[in-house]
């Protein structure tokens, strides 16, 4: 038999293993994509991160990290007591100034559980920062939560900041689509927010006489009327 007719079984085996690995990778990443869609991730960056991490597997109780001899889940180890909690490694410091929609989404979900906390975070970030974060898209489901947080906690002293935030959100990508996806409760919260802002504006107008009526209040009223149309509030 000639030399060039000899079958290289090792090469065939490697080719088969590579094909199997590629097929498993495709199935794994495709399943991760469906999970990301179902979870309604806030941005493409978060979607991509889920897909790229699809090869990772959750740790089990018996698993150990690196050369450590202590199981990763110390609560399952024999002899564990509640006093051992004092030696746990502190969590990573929370960031207060997210730069991307993915960072904001994680911060919003993990660290801001109560309405007042969420409201204060929005006020501190301000309209300009929020506009930069969400310049591409707010993310499905998030717009409604932002509006409800503003509606439940808006204060008279913050009305100008809130108006600016509403204007910046209305300028983000796919705003009309996100607005159409508001739930009935979120739409009612949006309507309630504008009712409160209108009442605050009327109160400010009453405090000033016609002669002393500052131009800023007129501009505020024009902005409010414009936002009523953008948010489709009757």
Stronger pLDDT, 211 or 12, i.e. the higher one = 12
Classify residue 85: in a domain, yes or no.
Answer: no
| Boundaries of domain holding 47 | 9-57
Express each pLDDT in 9-66 by its tens digit: 777 787 788 778 777 776 777 777 777 777 766 666 666 666 676 666 555 555 555 5
Distance (Å, rounded) from C-alpha 92 to C-alpha 7?
56
- State how far the Cα of 94 lies from the Cα of 106, in Å rounded to an integer: 10
Distance CA 22, CA 4 (A): 29
Length of the chain (residues): 234
pLDDT for 215 = 60
Counted domains in the chain: 2
pLDDT of residue 91: 42
Whether residue 50 is found in the same domain as residue 116: no
- Joined together, the tokens standing for residue 109 give 């979900």
SS3 64: strand
pLDDT digits (tens, 9 = 90+) for 102-150: 888 888 888 888 889 999 999 999 999 999 999 888 877 899 999 999 9
Assigned domain for 71 exists: no
């Amino acid at each position: 038999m000639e030399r060039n007719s000899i079958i290289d079984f090792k090469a065939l085996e490697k080719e088969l293993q590579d094909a199997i690995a590629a097929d498993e990778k495709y199935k794994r990443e495709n399943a991760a994509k469906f999970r990301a869609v179902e979870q309604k991730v806030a941005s493409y960056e978060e979607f991509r991160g889920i897909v790229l991490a699809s090869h990772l597997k959750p740790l089990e109780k018996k698993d150990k990290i690196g050369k450590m001899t202590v199981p990763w889940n110390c609560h399952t180890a024999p002899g564990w007591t509640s006093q051992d909690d004092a030696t746990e490694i502190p969590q990573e410091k929370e960031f207060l100034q997210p730069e991307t929609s993915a960072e904001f989404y994680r911060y919003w979900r993990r660290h801001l559980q109560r309405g007042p906390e969420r409201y204060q975070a929005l006020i501190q970030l301000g309209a300009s920062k929020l506009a930069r974060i969400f310049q591409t898209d707010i993310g499905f489901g998030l717009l409604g939560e932002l509006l409800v947080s503003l509606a439940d906690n808006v204060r008279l002293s913050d009305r100008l900041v809130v108006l600016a935030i509403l204007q910046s959100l209305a300028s983000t990508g796919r705003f009309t689509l996100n607005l159409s996806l508001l739930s009935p409760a979120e739409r009612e919260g949006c309507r309630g927010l504008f009712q409160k802002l209108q009442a605050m504006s009327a109160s400010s107008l009453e405090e000033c006489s016609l002669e002393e009526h500052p131009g800023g209040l007129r501009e505020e009223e024009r902005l409010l009327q414009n936002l009523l149309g953008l948010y489709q509030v009757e």
